[in-house]
Structure 1
Amino acid sequence: MHILYQTNWLKKACMNAAIARRLWGAPCAAKLAQRLDELEAAYVLADIRNLPGPKCHELAGSMSGMLSVHLSGGLRLVFEPADAIPPRKPDGGLDWTKVTAIRLLKVVDYH
């Protein structure tokens, strides 16, 4: 999948292991690099859904329209489909099989 970043700061933090370690700790930085590799290797978002480690899922409430993958501890990588209008199934749910680009929003513990 194609990966976009909400901010240049987030892109720099995600692409530089030393910065990621300083911000989120070594375990999270290592898992972040792995998740980015998995997301880049996927053709569509549905490819990630079935992997056991990422635990990719749609968020609800104030974070509706966003998704996340597990990093380390309570930290999650939060993202959204990059399409101006995300692809939808007839029932209104996100069509994971048509999402080919995502925008990374933040690394956060929202629990």
Structure 2
Amino acid sequence: MPIQRLRTETRYSEINIHNGTVYLAGQLADDHGGDIVQQTRETLASIDALLAEAGSDKSRILSVTIYLKDMARDYAGLNQVWDAWVAEGHAPARACVEAKMYRPEVLVEMTVVAAQ
């Protein structure tokens, strides 16, 4: 079965599809100047758009890994937005870890695996 790669850059592809499974590269907010609520909303909107491009949607997400810059400060704000966004009855497997981000103003990044 071939691998389909969409939005390919030099170092990565935004979307990889193989055998009915969609893999998204780490997604970030476009505007890194906002708080955790704004950055989480933008990140989830990006995930929605990429899943749609891959022929999937948030109800088909299998797992998400969430990277937070500051778990103590931002976990509640992240979950406020996440809980309103996640498809009812379709909560994916999820891990949330604190991580040093590639830029100081980035507060959250998410990687996603979904069924197509």
The TM tier, using the shorter chain, reads 0.3 to 0.5
Larger helix share, 1 or 2? 1
TM-score (norm 1): 0.33
Q: If the length of structure 2 is used for normalisation, what is the TM-score?
A: 0.32
Task: Pick the structure with more strand per residue.
Answer: 2
Which of structures 1 and 2 has the larger relative contact order (alpha carbons within 8 angstroms, sep 6+)?
2
